[in-house]
Each structure stands twice: as structure tokens, then as C-alpha cells.
């Protein structure tokens, strides 16, 4: 029996079309990219989007961190369709059309705010070996407007149907007021609001916005580099991941009915999770190195797996197991793509 109802999981973020290519070190150096990073495109990256298409074999995948995660959650749940809802902004163009088709294929209930000022956003995923350097050109994604979309009655109804909310930190650069409206709604109704640190630059340069949302965060996700950047930004004076998780857990919180849970992944090392006043580490699934196609989307997939069980009221241990399973599947495929059905029990 399915234990998840339609629109029970709500996600809002930057819908991007990923342009994925295996590149070389010269290409990274030319545009000043670190092998493993996530940044926003600047003026100097403009030509990069053209060059990557000309110079390398590219694949296009529907992306955007939050959209990836809700898609993976829907894939893990399978039935009913449209357990996951997604809001974001796209352009009225070819790439926007692709994103709409892909969301439909994934059985996600996507409601895009469509505008014609800006083209649909893209993200260059520059892959070298096990690393991926992501450069996001938000374009349309940056045009999401609370009053033009979130506040509309038929859209807000979908927000009210949800039990679990997930927003990647990336969206903090776009619409803090939209995030706060959703976060406060979750907190006031004792529902679960989840946020991802998403990237070091969010923890460093958008920390004011991040900390406005933090009191409403029931589950905080991140990886080890983001955790360290967060600790630096907060003046925690430690680089120990378990310590950082504890300190993040004890930051002020609005809804006292739920203690905050902090979940930090560490690539092939174990995943750290706070539990009560303890911190536990859960080993990831072993994988033969030769089976890894690309690690782009692994973090999003982990969250998607986690949310798929959370929305069905499973234990946090089960959520982590599902997260590890989903990530393990995704890294065997290019981009954030997956086989037809999961094999998770």
C-alpha cells in the first residue's frame, strides 16, 4: 500500500538544464574553475557555455538541485504519481519545454512560473575524473516572484497539501521571501521543513539570508565542504564534521515540537547524522570504482532517497539507507538520471 499521498512533498528551486561534458584541466584553468565546486556564472564564464558545446561531447539533462531531489524521491516512491510538487521559473523557449517534458516523464507535479524576459537557466557540469565543477547561469530561474506565483491561490493550495518541504540553499540567492513564507507555514503547522547548504558560496556570501531561514529548519543537509564553510561562516572554530553537526543542531529553532536533525554526507566516507544529543555515522554502500560514471547529482540523489522515506513516515535510519541507495544508483549513470525502477527494500 502506498503510504505517500499526492503533493505530500513540496520542492521549490532553480530549474536548470544541465550541460554535461567530460573536460580537461586546461578548460578548467582557462575559466578559473576548481575541479570540484559549485559557483554562479560571472561575465568571464559567458563564452564557456558556447565553448563547452563546440569543443566537447555534451549531454543535456534536466537539472537544478531541488528538482533533481524531488524527481529521485518520486522515482523511489513510484506510485502514486505526483507525490512530489515542484515550483520554479523558466523561460518560454526550447530548454523550458524540455524541462517541462522531463518533469512530466518523472511524474513530478511541476508548476513553473513562465516568463519571456530571460531564457531558461543552464548549468555547465564540467567533469574531470570523479570530480565535477558546476557553473550555473540562472537566467530565468533568478526571476521567480512570490507575488506572481507562490501567492496565487491555486499554487498556495499545493503548498498547503504538503507534509514535507525541501528547498536547496541555492534558492536563497533568488527569493528569500518565498522561502520564508513556505518555511513559516511548515513551522506553524508542525510539518517538516528541510534545507540544503548546497554550496560553500551560500554559506559564505549568503549567510545572512541562510540564518534568517535557519530557525525554521527541521532537517539540514550538506556535504563535508559545505559543513566546513558553514562552520567558518558561523565562527564555530572547529573543522570536525560531527562537532559542526552538533553545533548546527543547537542553533535557535522556532518550532520546539521537533528537534533539528543535521545530516552531512562525506562522499565515500560515512554519512553523519545528529540523533538526540548523539551523532552517528552511517557507512555508505561499497561501489567498485570502475562502475562510477559521474558523481554529478549524487548529493541531490541522496536527499531524494532520504525524502522518499521521510514523506512515508519511515525512521531516519531508513531515510539514510534510502539516500545511500539512491546515490549509489545515480553515480552509475550520467547526470542525475536513473533506471526505470528502484530495487530498494
Active-site positions read: 300
Rounded to whole angstroms, the Cα distance separating 138 from 328 reads 28
Q: Which helix (H) or strand (E) holds 304?
A: helix 298-310
Rounded to whole angstroms, the Cα distance separating 38 from 7 reads 29
Q: What angle do CA 203, 89, 83 make, to 5 degrees?
A: 85
DSSP letter, residue 336: S
Which residues share a beta bridge with 132?
Answer: 127
List CB contacts of 278: < 8 A, sequence separation 6 or more. Answer: none
Radius of gyration of the chain (CA): 19
Burial of 205 (0-12, 13-18, 19+ CB in 10 A): middle
Rounded to whole angstroms, the Cα distance separating 121 from 71 reads 18
Cell 558523481 belongs to: 295
Pairing of strands 122-128, 59-63: unpaired
Which of helix, strand or coil describes residue 243?
helix
Dump strand ranges (E) for 172-290. 192-196, 219-223, 261-266, 269-275, 278-282
Which residues share a beta bridge with 87?
Answer: 12, 111
Which of helix, strand or coil describes residue 68?
helix
Amino acid at each position: 500500500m502506498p503510504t505517500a499521498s499526492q503533493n505530500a512533498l513540496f520542492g521549490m528551486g532553480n530549474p536548470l538544464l544541465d550541460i554535461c561534458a567530460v573536460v580537461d584541466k586546461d578548460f578548467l584553468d582557462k575559466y578559473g574553475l576548481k575541479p570540484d565546486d559549485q559557483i554562479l556564472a560571472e561575465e568571464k564564464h559567458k563564452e564557456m557555455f558556447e565553448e563547452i558545446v563546440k569543443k566537447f561531447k555534451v549531454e543535456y539533462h534536466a537539472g537544478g538541485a531541488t528538482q533533481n531531489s524531488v524527481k529521485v524521491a518520486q522515482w523511489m516512491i513510484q506510485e502514486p504519481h505526483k507525490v512530489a510538487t515542484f515550483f520554479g521559473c523558466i523561460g518560454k523557449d526550447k530548454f523550458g519545454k524540455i524541462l517541462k517534458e522531463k518533469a512530466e516523464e518523472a511524474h513530478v507535479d511541476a508548476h513553473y512560473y513562465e516568463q519571456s524576459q530571460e531564457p531558461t537557466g543552464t548549468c555547465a557540469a564540467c567533469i574531470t575524473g570523479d570530480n565535477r565543477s558546476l557553473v550555473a547561469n540562472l537566467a530565468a530561474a533568478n526571476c521567480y516572484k512570490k507575488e506572481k506565483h507562490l501567492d496565487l491561490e491555486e499554487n498556495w493550495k499545493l503548498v498547503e497539501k504538503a507534509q514535507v518541504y525541501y528547498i536547496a540553499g541555492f534558492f536563497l540567492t533568488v527569493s528569500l521571501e518565498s522561502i520564508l513564507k513556505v518555511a513559516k507555514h511548515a513551522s506553524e503547522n508542525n510539518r517538516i521543513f528541510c534545507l540544503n547548504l548546497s554550496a560553500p558560496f551560500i554559506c559564505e556570501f549568503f549567510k545572512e539570508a541562510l540564518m534568517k531561514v535557519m530557525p525554521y529548519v527541521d532537517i539540514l543537509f550538506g556535504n563535508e565542504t559545505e559543513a566546513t564553510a558553514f562552520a567558518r561562516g558561523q565562527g564555530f572554530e572547529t573543522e570536525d564534521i560531527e562537532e559542526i553537526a552538533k553545533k548546527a543542531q543547537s542553533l535557535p529553532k522556532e518550532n520546539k515540537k521537533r528537534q533539528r536533525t543535521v545530516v552531512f554526507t562525506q562522499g565515500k566516507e560515512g554519512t553523519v547524522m545528529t540523533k538526540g544529543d548523539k551523532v552517528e555515522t552511517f557507512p555508505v554502500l561499497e561501489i567498485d570504482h570502475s562502475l562510477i560514471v559521474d558523481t554529478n547529482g549524487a548529493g541531490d540523489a541522496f536527499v531524494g532517497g532520504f525524502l522518499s522515506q521521510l514523506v512515508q513516515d519511515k525512521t531516519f535510519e531508513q531515510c539514510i539507507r534510502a539516500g545511500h541507495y539512491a546515490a549509489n544508483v545515480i553515480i552509475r549513470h550520467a547526470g542525475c538520471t536513473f533506471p526505470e525502477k528502484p530495487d530498494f527494500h
